[in-house]
Amino acid sequence: MKSFSIFTIVLLCVAILLVDSAAFYWLQSIIQFVDSSVFKILIYTLFWVFTVGIIVSILVLKMTLDNINPTRKQVLISRFYGLGVLSFVPKLAFILVISILYFTNFLFSDTKSLIIIPVIGVLSGFLPFFTILYGILKAIYRFKVYHKTIESNQLPTSFDGLKIVQISDLHLGSFNYKYTKLKNAIEKINALKPDYIFITGDLVNNYAWELRGWDTVFKGLEAKEGKYAILGNHDYGDYSLWETPELKQENFDMIKNFFQTINFKLLLNESKIITKNTEQIALLGVENWGNPPFKQYGNLKDALAGVENIPFKILLSHDPTHWEKEVKDKTDITLTLAGHTHGMQAGFQYKNLQWSPIKYKFKHWAGLYKHKTQYLYVNRGLGWLGFPARIGMRPEITFIELKTLLPDKKD
> CA-CA distance, 12 to 62, in Å (whole number)?
12
Q: Is 397 within 8 Å of 377 (Cβ atoms)? A: no
Length of the chain in terms of residues written: 411
pLDDT tens figures, 4-21: 778 888 998 999 999 999
Q: How far apart are CA 387 and CA 342, in angstroms?
A: 11
Q: What is the DSSP string of 244-307?
A: SHHHHHHHHHHHHHHHHHTT-EEPSSEEEEEEETTEEEEEEE---B-STTS-B---HHHHHTT-
pLDDT of residue 111: 52
Q: Are 276 and 312 in contact (CB under 8 A)?
A: no
Instruction: Say what the pLDDT of residue 2 is.
Output: 45
**Which structural domains are found in the chain, ordered by start?**
6-137 (no CATH), 144-409 (3.60.21.10)
State which amino acid sits at residue 61: L
Say if CB 366 and CB 409 are below 8 A apart.
no
Question: What is the structure's pLDDT at 70?
Answer: 73
Q: From 272, 274, 266, select the one nearest 195 (Cα to Cα).
A: 274
Predicted local distance difference test score (pLDDT) of residue 1: 41
Torsion of CA 74, 80, 85, 86, to 10 degrees: 120
| pLDDT of res. 36 | 85
- Beta-bridged to residue 293, according to DSSP, are none
Peptide bond before residue 293 is cis, with ω within 30 degrees of 0: yes
Low-confidence ranges of the chain (pLDDT < 50): 1-2
pLDDT value of residue 109: 54
